[in-house]
Amino acid sequence: MDEQTRITDAKSPPAPAPSTSDLKYTFNHDALQKFRDSKPWMEDPKYFEKVAVSPTAIMKMMMHCHSGVEKGMKKGGNPIEVMGLILGRPDPNNPKTLILTDVFPLPIEGFETRVIADDQDVINHMISLGESLEKCRHEKFMGWYHSHPFDVGAHPQCFLSTTDLTTQLQWQRSEDPHGNPFVAVVVDPLRSLVKNSPVLQAFRVYPPGYSSPVPNECPDGTIVSDEKSRLERWGACWNRYYVLEMEFFMSNLARRVMGTLTQNFLWMRVVGSTPMLESENRVRFPDRVFGGVDKVRKVAMELGSGGIHAHVG
């Protein structure tokens, strides 16, 4: 080893230890298969508690759901519901967690809580996509997502309709017994645009015959005695499914890149910020406009009294 090599090696920093987020990008195949074979979720209707979503999955989901909004509005109608499949796996290191690594949009469009994948072309597309991914990916399709692009109201539009519940129950009956627990994700694209951040929730459905031992327990675990309030927030099937906590993970490398971009290119923060979409600002905007008009009129009157003609309509 020459002197230059020794100097270079001495200056090289040690490789950083992998973070918890980094570990989500890798897994032990034998441990995963052993966990799939054990199928503990078959014994507990509320076994899973959390989903961890990768940057790739969340970005592709949001872009797809927002495209449905734009497509519907451009046609002069209502925003269109869209649907896709989720790629991922259970996490043997955190058995109560499902990891969502990627998503794939499907050629399905619908309106008002009715997005159904029963078209033969769509089914053939799903089969072809699954066969292709088996050759290059170790994860499986273990969930589905769709959008609820309804009006922005007091509550997020993240819930399971009767059709959604039936679809999710069919998936769970088909996949859960084979070591592939299935999850449903509902995205509220309009509220996401207003809040300038993703608004979505993940759900699992109770098996037939199961009912929560807690009276009036909503999917998120809260107790709501008023039936109208339950229906408005969670739909007619409010007692047939439950919410999974959602978290987002990012590798150390991706986090450093994003930090550098945000620090060096401050315009990214400006472009990514749309304060006028916030409901509070939208409500106060007319008052601000009228206040500005009053000030302009006062100035015009002062100018007019000085012999200068001014008119504000």
User: What contacts 65, CB < 8 A, 6 or more positions away?
Assistant: 82, 147, 149, 187, 189, 192
Q: How much is the pLDDT for 267? A: 47
- C-alpha to C-alpha distance for 100 and 89, rounded to whole angstroms: 7
Contact 47, 40 (CB under 8 A): yes
Q: How much is the pLDDT for 10? A: 46
For 99-124, b/e burial (b = at least 16 CB within 10 A) is bbbbbbbbebebeebebebeeeeeee
Identify how many contiguous H helices and E strands the chain contains and give both numbers.
11, 7
Q: How much is the pLDDT for 266? A: 53
Q: First and final CA of the chain: distance in angstroms? A: 84
Contact 231, 239 (CB under 8 A): no
Map residue 227 onto helix, strand or coil: helix
Weakly modelled stretches of the chain, pLDDT under 70: 1-21, 110-123, 125, 261-293, 295-296, 299-300, 303-313
Q: How much is the pLDDT for 277? A: 47
Contact 80, 111 (CB under 8 A): yes
- C-alpha to C-alpha distance for 66 and 70, rounded to whole angstroms: 6
Question: Kind and range of the H or E element at 241?
Answer: strand 241-248
User: What contacts 224, CB < 8 A, 6 or more positions away?
Assistant: 216, 218, 230, 233
- C-alpha to C-alpha distance for 104 and 155, rounded to whole angstroms: 27
Q: How much is the pLDDT for 301? A: 75
- C-alpha to C-alpha distance for 163 and 147, rounded to whole angstroms: 13
β-strand pairing of 200-205 with 241-248: antiparallel
> Which amino acid is it at 209?
G
Give, in order, the Cα–Cα distances in Å from 229 to each of 29, 126, 236: 45, 38, 11
Nearest to 142 by CA among 106, 109, 168, 165: 168
pLDDT, tens digit, for every residue of 110-160? 654 455 555 566 667 677 777 777 777 778 899 999 999 988 888 899 999
Cα 145–chain centre separation = 8
Cα 272–chain centre separation = 18
pLDDT, tens digit, for every residue of 177-199? 999 999 999 999 999 988 888 99
Q: How much is the pLDDT for 287? A: 63
